[in-house]
Structure 1
Amino acid sequence: MTPEEALLWRHLRGKALGVSFRRQEPMGRYVADFVCYERRLVLELDGSQHLNSETDRERDADMAAHGFETLRFWNNEVRTNLAGVLERIQQVLEARKSL
């Protein structure tokens, strides 16, 4: 895991947000940084190499075709605004409660 993934994982594991997440989870031909199957939510942390990535757009479309929403955060966001990242994740988890 990257340092940013390790930092976020400390706030996701053990149902810290009320649901279970798995990390580095194989999903078809991809590996998700984090996934919550209960709410069908994938979390991806990206470095600058992902800027305008067609591969990421294809990956997100594939996840969506299988009923998963993908939230992407920049590593810098996790380092400098962890509270905001966690708040956004919680918002989406709440919105996907009925799935």
Structure 2
Amino acid sequence: MKKKVFNIKQHKKLRQKLRGEMPHPELLLWQRLRGQQLGAKFRRQHGIGSYIIDFYCPEKCLAIELDGDSHYIDNAPNLDKKRDEYLNSKCIHVLRFTNTEVNKELDAVVGKIAETMAVMN
């Protein structure tokens, strides 16, 4: 039997909670990603393996992660690297942006996402 990788049932309540409590930078970016504004559908708080990805575009196999302050303390950078390696092993490309980038340079962030999508698949 093939092991399920996307949206594992045990994580459903956590994914729902995260969608309901999105930080401001995630809300800003979601307003620019939703409704296929970039030509493809994005999902928010999408489960892949044991990870929950901020935004995922299945058509392009593209994950977008926003890094807040917690991503720069303790062992977080190593955990992020491990997450990226796992996603890459599933042929998923990862783009990372800081919350500050989203807050101050939203158009540039959206431009980078669109540019990446244009050269994928």
TM-score higher than 0.5: yes
1:22 is matched with which residue? 43
Q: 1:11 is matched by which residue type in structure 2?
A: R
**For the aligned residues, what is the CA RMSD?**
0.9
1:82 is matched with which residue? 106
CA distance in 2, matches of 1:2, 1:48: 12
The percentage of aligned residue pairs carrying the same residue is 39
1:8 is matched with which residue? 29
SS of equivalent residue, structure 2 residue 64: strand
SS of equivalent residue, structure 2 residue 40: coil
Q: How many residues align?
A: 97
Structure having the higher Rg: 2
1:44 is matched with which residue? 65
The answer as to 2:108 corresponding to 1:68 is no
| TM norm structure 1 | 0.95
2:54 is matched with which residue? 33
1:55 is matched with which residue? 79
Q: 1:61 is matched by which residue type in structure 2?
A: E
Q: 1:44 is matched by which residue type in structure 2?
A: E
SS of equivalent residue, structure 1 residue 53: helix
SS of equivalent residue, structure 1 residue 39: coil
The answer for unaligned runs of 5 or more in structure 2 is: 1-21
The answer for unaligned runs of 5 or more in structure 1 is: none
Deviations 1:41-84 (A, max 9, x none): 00000112212610000000000000001100000000000010
| TM norm structure 2 | 0.78
| Higher-strand-fraction structure | 1
